[in-house]
């Protein structure tokens, strides 16, 4: 029964500056076993992977690999030690062939020349071992996502990996491809390869893994447990079991008429027939796990991503051309998930960022910039939002803390006095104090009649702030909960696809 | 993230994609044949063995330089200093061969001299991360200035023994030496790209630089070496071209860089990195470009109209490339 | 200590000004015949074309782009202007016709550039290179590479006349600099240009008209080239199909030295103006020292490289902070 321990992690900590991302993580991985690693978004799973993969150095703690101390300095160290990573975003070169991708770093082993025949044969052998019928000579860009995943796995096999990390490997796979992947994982396990399987699809984790470990807020919750000793409900409660704190201020609002109505939005496989409405002064939450299509929906509505079909009505009028410029003119705002690349001009000053959306209002005659007004409104918003900055006009946004950066983003949209706003993960990477202020701002907006679509993967904040929560799973809206129906369990069950609206009604009838 | 940018792009449709893929696969040959037919119809001498050989001879220097720039373009960079490199090596080899250097020596000197400029470019681009366009633009002026400084502003004549040897020698009786050189360089370059891990890593860097770095590929070194190769081959092209033209004036090879870049883009090497080959892509591109120029000469077109045609060809080539490759995330 | 710190800040942030003043003093002290009124005035007059072109190029650079076509605009406007001026009567009508035609051509080329970059998504350096070849080719074909002389003297007054004792080109330049400065630094449009240049994505999501803004940059750059073309044609009193052939380097040098970052979003008109004067001063002083033009070319190329390296090093010294904040989010 007692297998050899291949990887032992003791009291592993990782800080980024003052922020603790991993705190005293403990676990062991035995030979030939599959360890399921679950947790909400931001629980620290990817950081854990990055620390073990040599991308970030650990802050403290002890890691033992095959009985020896293991301190990777760079990604190569992990590879040489026999650890392979299958990332969610695949690390393949689409312009090269399958075989070339599998052996690309052979060049590092001082082998200058490659023989196409040789690598193709070797690749075929490996692919054959994996039971795959991919032509090793075909370019990766021609393969489906599932096939690409298999190539990534073949890469790990070619490197003779003893431990393989899978990070959400199933998000872009078809059911059949998923089946193949699971068979492979079981096969590997028999051959003595150990695996860590990170996924939001709990049913897969339960089916595949021998043991399970729950991470929450960078800490391991409960002991690492044999999979047959815990139930799905227990896992869910470990994942979410955070106390509801007083920081979520809910206020009663006057909900008015419908401001935005979205009908039958479709986009490839990411969005399938999504319809919903938002009323004036209403805060509607949108919950879903990673890859459920929440951000894609937001971008589709705002016109930064092209949708295949669907209608949008705004203030009762159909929106014909969907583009951000039009939306901003109409008084709609969009706080994106990616603050650095889509929300802020990092190299520019606080003030320049604040006035970005309302530039046209700053013009006097002939488009002359009213710099007095710019200073005035910037100062006003800095004060109102309590943005901590030394110099509104000159301090660059990249020198602000995460919370203050986010406040700048909110401020820039508040300036256009939006009637409808989409917030995509507005509290990510923001400290507790700033979070609370952001919730207040959201409430404040709603009280003034703004319709709010609040996308988040933190259930607590949605439950705390929203009037209504929509839940997405695999590109579809699976449920809609009223305020009195909010519980973390139901939300998560909808989000992992265990419940959908049809079933809920069935449940009600039984009750 | 990147997916989003891709979808804002707009221009692309599946039909167009299909067409472009086929175009770069077969269409270029069709274009080439059509061009040959067209110019033959204007002047029956066009389609002849002599003119064919002539065409290949004219292709030699741009072809050699093109083989070099493919490396840089595959990494997603650009090198517009190659015209000046061609000039300086032409000048240096002319001067040194006058002083008694042999063909082998001239070959080595021009390769080394080009490689030296490539080293500077490579260092500034790969190590210091300065925009390749600005670096190579500045180097273009610096190198040309230095070269003129060596010989002064008078036209230099490269018609000594070595010059004649380069132009006149026929390998095995029929194949001109410079065409032989072109074929060898192209074959070697293509071998480097498709049969060595270095070549594969060049493609990898152009496709996904961050990913390559994460996999432990030494991207800085790869990019640096690409510029060195590009410089060295441009140097060799300068030697060939200098010997061919004979009179090397201070404006020697000016504007060549854009002709060469657009030829290889026309052949299917992407400006956005990671796509294309030396053979057949770059070769075919240069051949078509030469064919157009050669044809225009034979059809006795106004010589000032060349630049217009060149501009149009560049435009079409990069337009097709933009439609095909822009926004492809990897 | 505080003074040292302050001094260092000025040295780092206003490096163009420091470089300019330093070089000016060096020239005054060591270059013979440099420090007389005539020569200095000469520098100012010579700077006017370059300043105008550099201002135009600054706009394009701010978006991380490049505009090689300005030399073609110079050549083509010069040729077409001269053609109209020499063939039309009466003179007043001819002059206005010519100027209108020149403007129209410039705007057309600007439009083509803008369209190619925003709609066809061709990288700007190669799109403008194509238009440069095409339109300078047209200029050459039209004239068979010959200069068109015989322009009415009243047109030449544009460049050779004086208003209140000040040469007209200088007045035009001052107006252009003032307008560009206002456009970029004290108008809403300028904020838009800087935002778009810093990040297309952020600007798009913030509802700015990104494509329209980029298009306008190319239009402005062409328009400025037309103005420079008018001045130069009037100064030479002839339509020259190779006009401005060698100016590209000076323009790039002026803008880069002026601190406008090639990667977009940083820089401005004052830097480019000082950069342009510095480049002309460099040309002038090295000429006075009897240095050949090709070595001056080397010097200017070297200047571009050194300034670029300096800018990168300056940035990377502040990078530690940036990397840290990146990880923490």
CB contact (8 A) between residue B195 and residue A114: yes
What's the confidence (pLDDT) of residue C179? 95
Q: HEC states along A22-70?
A: EEEEEEEEECCCEEEEECCCCCCHHHHHHHHCCCCCCCEEEEEECCEEC
CB A273 within 8 A of CB A262: no
What's the confidence (pLDDT) of residue A175? 74
In this predicted model, what pLDDT tens digit does every residue of B162-182 receive, in sequence order?
888 888 888 877 889 999 999
What's the confidence (pLDDT) of residue A346? 87
Q: How far apart are CA B28 and CA B35, in angstroms?
A: 10
Confidence of residue B326 (pLDDT cuts 50, 70, 90): low
Q: Which residues on chain B are in Cβ contact (under 8 Å) with A107?
A: 196-198, 200-201, 217
Confidence of residue A506 (pLDDT cuts 50, 70, 90): very low
Q: How far apart are CA C71 and CA B292, in angstroms?
A: 25
**C4 lies in some domain:** no
Q: How far apart are CA C271 and CA C259, in angstroms?
A: 6
Q: What is the mean pLDDT of residues C312-318?
A: 71
* Candidate ranges B30-44, B299-313, C237-251; pick with highest mean pLDDT: C237-251
- The CA distance from A388 to the nearest CA of chain C, in Å, is 16
Q: How far apart are CA B27 and CA B218, in angstroms?
A: 37
Q: HEC states along A365-434?
A: HHHEECHHHHHHHHHHHHHHCCCCCCCCCCCEHHHCCHHHHHHHHHHHHHCCCCCEEEEECCCCCCCHHH
**C93 lies in some domain:** yes
In this predicted model, what pLDDT tens digit does every residue of A256-268 receive, in sequence order?
889 999 989 888 7
**C5 lies in some domain:** no
Q: What beta strand segments (E) does chain B contain?
A: 156-157, 170-171, 175-176, 247-248
What's the confidence (pLDDT) of residue B6? 37
What's the confidence (pLDDT) of residue A246? 54
CB C247 within 8 A of CB C53: yes
Q: What is the mean pLDDT of residues B318-323?
A: 86
What is the CATH number for C160?
A: 1.10.3470
**C10 lies in some domain:** no
Question: Could you tell me how many residues make up chain A?
Answer: 511
CB A393 within 8 A of CB A349: yes
CB contact (8 A) between residue C207 and residue A357: yes
- By CB atoms closer than 10 A (0-12, 13-18, 19+), residue A502 is exposed
Asked whether residue A430 carries a pLDDT value surpassing 80, the answer given is no
Asked whether residue C173 carries a pLDDT value surpassing 90, the answer given is yes
Q: Which residues on chain A are in Cβ contact (under 8 Å) with C207?
A: 324-329, 357
What's the confidence (pLDDT) of residue A73? 85
Q: Closest Cα partner for C136 from C74, C179, C83, C84? A: C74
* CATH entry, B59-325, from 3.40.50, 1.10.3470, 1.10.10, 1.20.140: 1.10.3470
Q: Which residue of A has its CA nearest to B10?
A: A306
Residue from B200, B210, B329 to probe the interface with A (highest A Cβ count within 10 Å): B200
Cβ contacts of residue B99 below 8 Å, gap of 6+?
none
Would the CA dihedral through B86, B89, B91, B94 be positive or negative? negative
Confidence of residue A510 (pLDDT cuts 50, 70, 90): very low
CB C168 within 8 A of CB A342: no
Quickly tell me which residue has 């080293």 as its tokens.
B119
Interface partners of chain C (CB pairs < 8 Å, 3 or more) are A, B
Residue B201 near chain A (CB below 8 Å): yes
CB contact (8 A) between residue C201 and residue B146: no
Q: What is the mean pLDDT of residues B205-230?
A: 90
Q: Which residue of B has its CA nearest to A85?
A: B215
In this predicted model, what pLDDT tens digit does every residue of A27-67 receive, in sequence order?
999 998 999 988 776 677 878 888 888 888 888 889 998 88
Residue B95 near chain C (CB below 8 Å): no
CB A307 within 8 A of CB A319: no
Joined tokens for residue B8: 């804002």
**C326 lies in some domain:** no
In this predicted model, what pLDDT tens digit does every residue of C226-246 receive, in sequence order?
999 999 999 888 999 988 888
Residue from A359, A361, A425 to probe the interface with C (highest C Cβ count within 10 Å): A359
Residue C117 near chain B (CB below 8 Å): no
What are the residue boundaries of the structural domains of chain B, listed by start? 59-325
Residue C207 near chain A (CB below 8 Å): yes
Give residues 176 to 215 of C whose Cβ lies within 8 Å of B.
Answer: 201, 204
CB contact (8 A) between residue A100 and residue B200: yes
CB B179 within 8 A of CB B60: yes
Q: Which residues on chain B are in Cβ contact (under 8 Å) with A115?
A: 195
CB contact (8 A) between residue C294 and residue B153: yes
In this predicted model, what pLDDT tens digit does every residue of A374-423 receive, in sequence order?
899 999 999 888 888 888 888 888 888 778 888 999 999 999 999 999 99
- The CA distance from A390 to the nearest CA of chain C, in Å, is 16
CB contact (8 A) between residue A112 and residue B196: yes
Instruction: Tell me which residue range forms the domain holding C81.
Output: 16-27+37-316
Residue A61's region, left for phi above 0, alpha for psi from -120 to 50, else beta, is left
Asked whether residue B12 carries a pLDDT value surpassing 50, the answer given is no
Residue A99's H or E segment, with its range, is: helix A98-103
Q: How far apart are CA A114 and CA A47, in angstroms?
A: 36
What's the confidence (pLDDT) of residue A242? 52
Q: How far apart are CA A365 and CA B263, in angstroms?
A: 50
- The CA distance from B201 to the nearest CA of chain A, in Å, is 7
- The CA distance from C324 to the nearest CA of chain A, in Å, is 7
Asked whether residue C102 carries a pLDDT value surpassing 70, the answer given is yes
A176-205 burial, b for 16+ CB within 10 Å, e for fewer?
ebbebbbebbeebbeeebbbbbbbbbbebb
- Total domains present in chain C: 1
Least trusted range by pLDDT, from A141-155, A376-390, A493-507, C258-272: A493-507
Residue B111 near chain C (CB below 8 Å): no
Least trusted range by pLDDT, from A110-124, B7-21, C141-155, C308-322: B7-21
Asked whether residue A309 carries a pLDDT value surpassing 90, the answer given is no
Minimum-distance CB partner of A306 among B7, B201, B212: B7
CB A190 within 8 A of CB A32: yes
What's the confidence (pLDDT) of residue A107? 60
Confidence of residue A110 (pLDDT cuts 50, 70, 90): low
Task: Write the CA distances from B240 to A469, B105, B136, B280, B285, integer angstroms.
Answer: 73, 14, 22, 21, 19
CB contact (8 A) between residue A342 and residue C327: no
CB contact (8 A) between residue B311 and residue C132: yes
Residue B150 near chain C (CB below 8 Å): no
Q: At what angle do helices C293-317 and C319-328 cross, to 10 degrees?
A: 40
Residues paired with A311 in a beta bridge: A263
* CATH entry, A258-510, from 3.40.50.300, 3.40.50.1400, 1.10.3720.10, 3.40.50.2000: 3.40.50.300
Q: Which residues on chain C are in Cβ contact (under 8 Å) with B318?
A: 122-123, 126-127, 130
- The CA distance from B290 to the nearest CA of chain C, in Å, is 17
ω into B111 cis (within 30 of 0)? no
Residue C187 main-chain phi, psi, to 5 deg: -130, 160
Q: Which residues on chain A are in Cβ contact (under 8 Å) with B277?
A: none
Asked whether residue A15 carries a pLDDT value surpassing 50, the answer given is yes
Q: Which residue of C has its CA nearest to B322?
A: C122
Task: Write the CA distances from A2 to A30, A194, A358, A429, integer angstroms.
Answer: 9, 14, 65, 41
Give the N- to C-terminal CA distance of chain C in Å, as an integer.
35
Average pLDDT, chain A: 84
Question: Any alpha helices (H) in C153-268, and if so which ranges?
Answer: 153-160, 168-185, 188-198, 200-205, 210-236, 247-257
Residues paired with A68 in a beta bridge: A65
Joined tokens for residue C169: 């080109």
Would the CA dihedral through B104, B108, B113, B115 be positive or negative? positive
Task: Write the CA distances from C246 to A319, C72, C75, C304, integer angstroms.
Answer: 52, 11, 11, 16
Residue C306 near chain B (CB below 8 Å): no
Task: State the Cα torsion C174-C175-C179-C180 to the nearest 10°.
Answer: -40
**Pairing label, strands A258-267, A332-335:** unpaired
ω into C90 cis (within 30 of 0)? yes
CB contact (8 A) between residue B308 and residue C138: yes
Residues paired with A274 in a beta bridge: A265
Joined tokens for residue A431: 């400290």
Q: Cα–Cα–Cα angle for C274, C279, C284, nearest 5°?
A: 120
Residue C130 near chain B (CB below 8 Å): yes
Where is pLDDT greater, at B7 or C98? C98
Q: Which residue of B has its CA nearest to A298?
A: B4
Q: What is the mean pLDDT of residues C59-68?
A: 92
CATH architecture of A5-240: 3-Layer(aba) Sandwich (3.40)
- The CA distance from A107 to the nearest CA of chain B, in Å, is 5
Q: Cα–Cα–Cα angle for A494, A497, A503, nearest 5°?
A: 70
Would the CA dihedral through B79, B83, B84, B89 be positive or negative? positive
Q: Which residue of B has its CA nearest to A89?
A: B211
Structure ipTM over 0.90, yes or no: no
CB hemisphere CA count around C300 (13 angstroms): 35
Helix (H, G, I), strand (E, B) or coil at B119: helix
Confidence of residue A81 (pLDDT cuts 50, 70, 90): confident
- Boundaries of CATH 3.40.50.300 in chain A? 5-240, 258-510
Residue A260's H or E segment, with its range, is: strand A258-267
Q: Closest Cα partner for B138 from C256, A133, C3? A: C256
**Pairing label, strands A163-167, A83-86:** parallel
Q: Which residue of A has its CA nearest to C265?
A: A347
Q: Closest Cα partner for A429 from A23, A57, A18, A88? A: A18
**C22 lies in some domain:** yes
**C236 lies in some domain:** yes
Q: What beta strand segments (E) does C119-168 contain?
A: 162-163, 166-167
């Amino acid at each position: 029964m007692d297998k050899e321990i291949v990887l032992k992690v003791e009291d592993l900590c990782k800080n980024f500056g003052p922020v603790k991302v991993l705190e005293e993580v403990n676990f062991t991985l035995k030979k030939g076993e599959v360890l399921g690693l679950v947790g909400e978004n931001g629980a620290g799973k990817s950081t854990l992977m990055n620390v073990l993969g040599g991308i970030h150095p650990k802050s403290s703690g002890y890691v033992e690999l095959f009985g020896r101390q293991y301190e990777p300095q760079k990604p190569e160290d992990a590879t040489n030690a026999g650890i392979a990573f299958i990332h969610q975003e695949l690390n393949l070169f689409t312009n090269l062939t399958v075989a070339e991708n599998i052996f690309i770093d052979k060049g590092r082993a001082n082998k200058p020349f490659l023989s196409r025949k040789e690598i193709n044969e070797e690749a075929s052998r490996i692919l054959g071992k994996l039971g795959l019928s991919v032509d090793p000579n075909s370019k990766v860009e021609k393969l489906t996502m599932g096939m690409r995943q298999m190539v990534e796995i073949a890469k790990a096999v070619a490197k003779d990996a003893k431990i393989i990390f899978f990070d959400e490997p199933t998000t872009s796979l078809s059911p059949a491809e998923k089946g193949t992947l699971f068979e492979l994982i079981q096969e590997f396990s028999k051959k003595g390869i150990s695996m860590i399987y990170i996924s939001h699809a709990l049913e897969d984790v339960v089916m595949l893994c021998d043991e399970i470990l729950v991470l929450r807020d960078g800490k391991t919750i409960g002991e690492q447990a044999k999979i047959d000793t815990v139930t799905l409900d227990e896992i869910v409660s470990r994942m979410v079991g955070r106390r509801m704190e007083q920081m979520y201020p809910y206020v009663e609002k006057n909900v008015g008429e419908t401001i935005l109505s979205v009908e039958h939005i479709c986009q490839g496989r990411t969005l399938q027939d999504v319809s919903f409405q938002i009323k004036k002064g209403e805060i509607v939450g949108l919950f879903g796990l990673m890859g459920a299509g929440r951000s894609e929906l937001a971008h589709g509505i705002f016109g930064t991503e092209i949708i295949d079909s669907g209608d949008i009505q705004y203030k009762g009028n159909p929106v014909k051309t969907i583009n951000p410029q039009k939306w901003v003119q109409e008084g709609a705002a969009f706080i994106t998930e990616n603050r650095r690349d889509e929300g802020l001009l990092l190299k520019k000053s606080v003030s320049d960022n604040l006035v970005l959306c309302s530039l046209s209002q700053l013009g006097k005659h002939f488009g002359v910039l009213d710099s007095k007004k710019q200073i005035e409104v910037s100062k006003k918003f800095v004060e109102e939002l309590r943005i901590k900055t030394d110099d509104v006009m000159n301090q660059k946004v990249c020198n602000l803390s995460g919370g203050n950066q986010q406040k700048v983003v909110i401020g820039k949209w508040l300036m256009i006095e939006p009637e409808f706003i989409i917030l995509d993960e507005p509290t990510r990477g923001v400290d507790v104090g700033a979070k609370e202020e952001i919730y207040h701002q959201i409430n404040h907006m709603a009280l003034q009649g703004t319709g709010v679509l609040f996308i988040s993967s933190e259930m607590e904040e949605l439950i705390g702030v929203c009037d209504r929560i929509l839940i997405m799973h695999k590109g579809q809206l699976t449920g809609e909960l009223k305020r009195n129906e909010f519980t973390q369990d139901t939300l998560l069950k909808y989000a992992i696809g265990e419940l959908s609206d049809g079933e809920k009604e069935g449940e009600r009838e039984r009750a | 993230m990147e997916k989003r940018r891709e979808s804002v792009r707009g221009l692309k449709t599946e039909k167009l994609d299909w067409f472009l893929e086929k175009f770069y696969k077969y269409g270029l040959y069709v274009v080439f044949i059509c061009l040959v037919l067209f110019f033959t119809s204007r002047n029956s001498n066009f389609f002849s063995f002599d003119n064919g050989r002539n065409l290949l001879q004219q292709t030699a220097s741009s072809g050699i330089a093109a083989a070099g720039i493919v490396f840089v373009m595959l990494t997603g960079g650009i090198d517009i200093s190659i015209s000046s490199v061609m000039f300086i090596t032409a000048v240096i080899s002319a001067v040194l061969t006058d002083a008694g250097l042999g063909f082998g020596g001239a070959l080595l000197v021009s390769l080394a001299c080009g490689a030296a400029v490539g080293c500077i470019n490579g260092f500034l681009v790969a190590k210091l991360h300065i925009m390749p366009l600005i670096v190579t633009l500045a180097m273009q002026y610096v190198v040309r200035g230095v070269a003129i400084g060596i010989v002064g502003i008078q036209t230099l004549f490269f018609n000594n023994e070595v010059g004649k040897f380069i132009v006149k020698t026929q390998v095995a009786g029929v194949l001109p030496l410079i065409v032989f050189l072109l074929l060898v360089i192209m074959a070697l370059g293509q071998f480097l790209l498709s049969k060595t891990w270095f070549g594969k890593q060049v493609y990898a860097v152009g496709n996904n630089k961050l990913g390559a770095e994460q996999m432990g590929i030494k991207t800085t070194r790869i990019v640096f070496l690409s510029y060195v190769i590009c410089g060295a081959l441009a140097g060799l092209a300068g030697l060939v071209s200098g010997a061919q033209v004979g009179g090397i004036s201070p404006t020697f090879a000016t504007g060549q860089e854009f002709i060469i870049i657009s030829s290889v883009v026309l052949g299917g090497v992407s400006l956005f990195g990671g796509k294309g080959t030396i053979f057949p892509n770059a070769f075919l591109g240069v051949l078509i470009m030469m064919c157009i120029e050669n044809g225009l000469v034979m059809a006795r077109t106004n010589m000032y109209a060349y630049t217009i045609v060149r501009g149009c060809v560049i435009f079409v080539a990069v337009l097709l490339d933009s439609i095909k490759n822009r926004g492809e995330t990897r | 200590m505080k003074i040292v710190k302050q001094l260092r800040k000025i040295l780092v942030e206003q490096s163009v000004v420091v470089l300019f003043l330093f070089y000016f003093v060096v020239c005054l002290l060591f270059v013979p015949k440099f420090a007389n009124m005539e020569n200095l005035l000469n520098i100012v007059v010579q700077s006017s074309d370059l300043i105008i072109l550099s201002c135009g190029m600054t706009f394009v650079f701010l978006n991380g782009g490049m505009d090689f076509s300005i030399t073609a605009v110079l050549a083509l406007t010069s040729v077409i202007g001269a053609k109209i001026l020499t063939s039309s009567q009466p003179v007043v009508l001819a002059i206005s016709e010519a100027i209108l035609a020149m403007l129209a051509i410039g705007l057309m080329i600007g439009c083509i550039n803008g369209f190619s970059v925003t709609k066809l998504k061709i990288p700007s350096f190669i799109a403008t290179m194509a238009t440069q070849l095409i339109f300078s080719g047209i200029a050459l074909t039209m004239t068979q590479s010959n200069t068109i002389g015989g322009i009415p003297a009243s047109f030449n007054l544009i460049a050779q006349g004086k208003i209140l004792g000040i040469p007209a080109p200088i007045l035009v330049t001052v107006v252009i600099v003032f307008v560009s400065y206002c456009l970029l630094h004290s108008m809403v449009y300028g904020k838009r240009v800087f935002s778009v240049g810093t990040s297309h994505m952020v600007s798009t999501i913030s509802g700015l008209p990104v494509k329209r803004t980029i298009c306008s940059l190319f239009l402005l750059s062409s328009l400025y080239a037309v103005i420079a073309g008018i001045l130069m044609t009037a100064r030479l009193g002839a339509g020259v199909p190779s006009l401005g052939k060698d100016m590209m380097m000076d323009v790039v040098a002026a803008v880069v030295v002026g601190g406008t970052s090639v990667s977009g979003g940083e820089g401005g008109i004052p830097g480019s103006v000082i950069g342009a004067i510095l480049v002309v001063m460099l040309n002038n002083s090295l000429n006075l020292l009897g240095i050949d033009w090709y070595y001056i070319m080397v010097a200017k190329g070297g200047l571009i490289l050194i300034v670029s390296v300096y800018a990168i090093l300056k940035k990377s010294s502040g990078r530690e902070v940036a990397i840290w904040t990146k990880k923490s989010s």
